[in-house]
């Protein structure tokens, strides 16, 4: 696995190659740390720190450009809850659909829709889906893609997506000149 995060004005560049993290500090030097050489306690602490930070970062939502208001605690919680459910369901570190230009994964919408339909928390639905997928001998993603074709689920997913399309009608009007 090689993963490099570089910004044009970066002083510190981080590069991963397998289990080795290399940090290059512009004009100062380079240091490498092999996580295989770290204690299990330190690795666990680093994992906990990283997960906590990742979930906290999920609550960082830009101000509403029309009202100037900050996101509500409920909005922040919903974003954290969705990312936590994504991880619990076996999702990758990057969740499609996060702010910052990526798109939300379709199965995340399906989980949210199922939870809303059955009036349960997302975590409960993630557990139910995992259990039912295991009974069928398929992955949670495969299970969700199949159940997502049910009319009621598809309709709820569309409703959720429409709710996220805040300002889309205005944007369409701008494009067509119907301001």
pLDDT band, very low/low/confident/very high, at 2 (cuts 50, 70, 90): very low
- For residue 89, the model assigns a pLDDT of 81
Q: Is residue 54's pLDDT more than 50? A: yes
Domain residue limits at 36: 12-58
Rounded CA separation 80/108 (Å): 13
Whether residue 77 sits in one domain with residue 54: no
Whether residue 129 sits in one domain with residue 102: yes
- For residue 114, the model assigns a pLDDT of 92
- For residue 117, the model assigns a pLDDT of 92
66 part of a folded domain: no
**Count of structural domains, the chain:** 2
Rounded CA separation 47/50 (Å): 5
Percentage of the chain with pLDDT > 90? 29
Whether residue 159 sits in one domain with residue 137: yes
Is pLDDT larger for residue 137 or for residue 64? Answer: 137
User: How many other CB atoms are there within 10 angstroms of residue 62's CB atom?
Assistant: 8
Is pLDDT larger for residue 97 or for residue 102? Answer: 97
Mean pLDDT of all residues belonging to the chain: 81
Whether residue 52 sits in one domain with residue 75: no
- For residue 178, the model assigns a pLDDT of 61
Whether residue 108 sits in one domain with residue 47: no
Phi, psi angles (nearest 5°) of residue 23: -110, 125
Q: What is the torsional sign of CA 50, 89, 161, 80?
A: negative
6 part of a folded domain: no
**Cα(first)–Cα(last) distance of the chain, in Å?**
49
Q: Is residue 87's pLDDT more than 90? A: no
5 part of a folded domain: no
């Amino acid at each position: 696995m090689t993963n490099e995060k570089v910004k044009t004005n970066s002083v510190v560049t981080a590069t991963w190659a397998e289990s080795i993290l290399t940090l290059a500090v512009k004009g100062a030097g380079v240091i490498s740390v092999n996580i295989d050489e770290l204690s299990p306690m330190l690795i666990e602490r680093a994992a906990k720190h990283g997960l906590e930070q990742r979930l906290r970062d999920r609550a960082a939502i830009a101000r509403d450009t029309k009202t100037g208001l900050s996101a509500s605690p409920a909005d922040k919680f919903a974003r954290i809850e969705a990312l936590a459910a994504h991880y619990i369901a076996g999702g990758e570190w990057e969740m499609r659909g996060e702010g910052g230009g990526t798109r939300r994964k379709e199965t995340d919408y399906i989980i949210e829709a199922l939870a809303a339909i059955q009036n349960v928390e997302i975590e409960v639905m993630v557990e139910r889906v995992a259990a039912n997928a295991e009974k069928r001998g398929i992955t949670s993603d495969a299970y969700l893609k199949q159940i997502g074709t049910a009319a009621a689920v598809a309709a709820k997913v569309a409703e959720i997506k429409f709710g996220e399309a805040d300002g889309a009608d205005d944007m369409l009007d701008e494009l067509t000149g119907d301001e």
